[in-house]
């Protein structure tokens, strides 16, 4: 039976959140830096540096690490583990996730231990024992690591201390907040050293245009998306903080709107309509950029405003172990900039 070709899509999955392309444009420098630190650790397990990646959302941090992890699995003996701390944000959860991946990839015939009724120390000892016996080198990515802090921070210390038992392990920590470890126990921060910091900057308009064009080329049939629509979308996405995810989601919605019009061509008007139908998109993107500290701060600001001295007293009362005066002012200034960008 003859099946006609889709008149719109070539590979719709190119626009899906979990799609990792074979090339990440404008992130070559960052990928090279991350890969270099990992390769150095593979060559010399006696001298391992952890990696701290920070920058605005939608700038390729997670995609870069997943891209590198795919290469590691194909080309090296490393054992990469990706954990999203938004979903897994406790000591027990992180250790169990590592063990689960270990048994799935390294020892698939081993029955996976149930979490129920198992103490944390027992679970961690099992992890250490299996890593020691099987001589694998875990590279563990903790994405959105701010969700692990502060209550799950001890697991960072526990994992880092494995090296003292001659078990090589490397941590990659990803966050939007450069200062996420500011108030973490000094003992834990010390255990993470040495750390290579790799910042990610927001994409420029020209970079965003190229990224969208590449996605459009592989996702859609030729001529489905107007060039003017790509340019407009890139400019709006950069105004919203340079978040590629906004561009991706808008394209998918714009196609549906074009189909409703009985057309197989996405124009600037479809892009505008897709954005206007999702008026919360900009606010959502901005909120996602807020760290847990900033969210705590903004939750205390009354609708009719408050002067700083009174606010500082209120903040210290509610969060006695929160950030100090200098950092509080810094976060308030950042929040003010976000608010200006929203309107």
What would the pLDDT profile of 100-123 be if each residue is shown by its tens digit?
A: 999 888 877 666 666 677 899 999
The two tokens of residue 220 are 């859609």
- Does 257 lie in the same domain as 142? no
CB 124 within 8 A of CB 113: no
Residues 194 and 333 in one domain: no
Q: Render 143-209 in DSSP notation, one character per residue.
A: ETGGGGTTTTTHHHHHHHGGGGGT---EEEEEES-TTTTTTS-HHHHHHH-SEEEEE-PPPPHHHHH
CA dihedral of residues 304, 307, 309, 312 (deg, nearest 10): 40
Domain-embedded: residue 3 = no
155 with 247, same domain: the answer is no
Residues 281, 314, single domain; the answer is no
Which range marks the domain in which residue 314 is found? 290-342
273 Cβ contact partners less than 8 Å away, ≥ 6 residues apart: 254, 257
- φ and ψ at residue 229, rounded to 5 degrees: -65, -40
List all residues 6 or more positions away from 61 whose beta carbon is below 8 Å from its beta carbon: 53, 54, 55, 143, 174, 200
Whether residue 142 sits in one domain with residue 59: yes
State phi, psi for 180 to the nearest 5 degrees.
-60, -25
Indicate whether 147 and 278 sit together in one domain.
no
The structure tokens listed for 244 are 């590629």
Say yes or no: 264 and 331 in one domain.
no
pLDDT value of position 343 = 45
Residue 54 falls inside a structural domain: yes
At 3, give phi and psi (nearest 5°).
Answer: -115, 120
Between CA 78 and CA 53, with CA 187 as vertex, the angle to 5 degrees is: 45
The strands making up 170-175's β-sheet, listed across from edge to edge, are 78-84, 137-143, 170-175, 50-54, 195-199
Report pLDDT for 188.
Answer: 94
Domain count of the chain? 3
Residues paired with 81 in a beta bridge: 140
The verdict on 68 and 51 lying in the same domain is yes
Whether residue 23 lies inside any domain: the answer is no
**pLDDT, position 282:** 57
Q: Which has the closest alpha carbon to 291: 159, 165, 180, 130?
A: 180
Whole-angstrom distance, CA of residue 23 vs CA of residue 191: 34
Q: What pTM value is reported for the model?
A: 0.81
Question: Mind listing the pLDDT tens digit for each residue in 54-105?
Answer: 999 899 999 999 999 999 999 988 999 999 998 998 999 999 999 999 988 8
Q: Which of 138, 159, 32 is nearest to 77 (CA)?
A: 138
DSSP single-letter state for residue 266: B
Q: Residue 170: what pLDDT?
A: 98
Instruction: Give yes or no for residue 239 having a pLDDT over 70.
Output: yes
Say which residue, 41 or 294, is predicted with more confidence.
Answer: 41
Mean pLDDT, range 282-291, rounded to an integer: 65
> In Å, how far from its chain's centre is CA 245?
12
What band does 338 get if pLDDT is binned at 50, 70 and 90? low
Q: Tell which of 154, 170, 199 closes a domain.
A: 199
Which domain CATH number covers 252? 1.10.8.60
Is 5 domain-assigned? no
Q: Judge if 50 and 186 occupy the same domain.
A: yes
Span 310-328, mean pLDDT? 80
SS3 track for 283-308: HHHHHHHCCHHHHHHHHCCCCCCCCH
Q: What is the pLDDT of residue 3?
A: 42
Q: What pLDDT is attached to residue 257?
A: 93
CATH number of the domain to which 87 belongs? 3.40.50.300
């Amino acid at each position: 039976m003859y099946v006609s070709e889709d008149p719109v899509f070539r590979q719709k999955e190119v626009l899906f959140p979990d799609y990792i392309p074979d090339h990440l444009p404008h992130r070559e420098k960052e990928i090279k830096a991350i890969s270099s630190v990992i390769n150095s650790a593979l060559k010399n397990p006696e001298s391992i540096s952890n990696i701290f990646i920070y920058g605005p959302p939608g700038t390729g941090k997670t995609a870069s690490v997943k891209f590198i992890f795919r290469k590691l699995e194909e080309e090296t003996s490393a054992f990469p583990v990706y954990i999203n701390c938004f979903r897994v944000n406790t000591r027990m959860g992180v250790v169990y996730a590592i063990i689960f991946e270990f048994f799935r990839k390294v020892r698939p015939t081993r029955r996976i231990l149930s979490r129920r009724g198992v103490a944390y120390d027992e679970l961690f000892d099992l992890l250490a024992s299996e890593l020691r016996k099987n001589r694998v080198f875990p590279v563990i990515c903790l994405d959105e690591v701010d969700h692990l802090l502060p209550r799950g921070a001890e697991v960072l210390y526990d994992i880092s201390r494995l090296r003292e038992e001659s078990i090589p392990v490397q941590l990659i920590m990803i966050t939007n907040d450069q200062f996420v470890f500011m108030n973490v126990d000094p003992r834990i921060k010390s255990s993470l050293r040495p750390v290579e910091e790799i910042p990610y900057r927001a994409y420029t308009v020209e970079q965003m245009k190229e990224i969208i064009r590449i996605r459009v080329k592989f996702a859609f049939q030729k001529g489905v998306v107007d060039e003017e629509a790509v340019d407009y979308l890139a400019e709006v996405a950069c105004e919203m903080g340079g978040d590629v995810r906004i561009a991706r989601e808008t394209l998918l919605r714009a196609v549906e709107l074009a189909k409703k019009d009985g057309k197989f061509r996405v124009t600037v008007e479809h892009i505008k309509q897709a954005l206007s139908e999702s008026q919360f998109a900009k606010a959502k993107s901005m909120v996602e950029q807020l760290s847990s500290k900033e969210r705590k701060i903004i939750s205390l600001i009354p609708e009719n405003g408050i002067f700083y001295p009174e606010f500082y007293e209120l903040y210290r009362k509610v969060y006695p172990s929160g950030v100090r005066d200098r950092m509080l002012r810094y976060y308030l200034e950042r929040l003010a900039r976000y608010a200006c960008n929203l309107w």
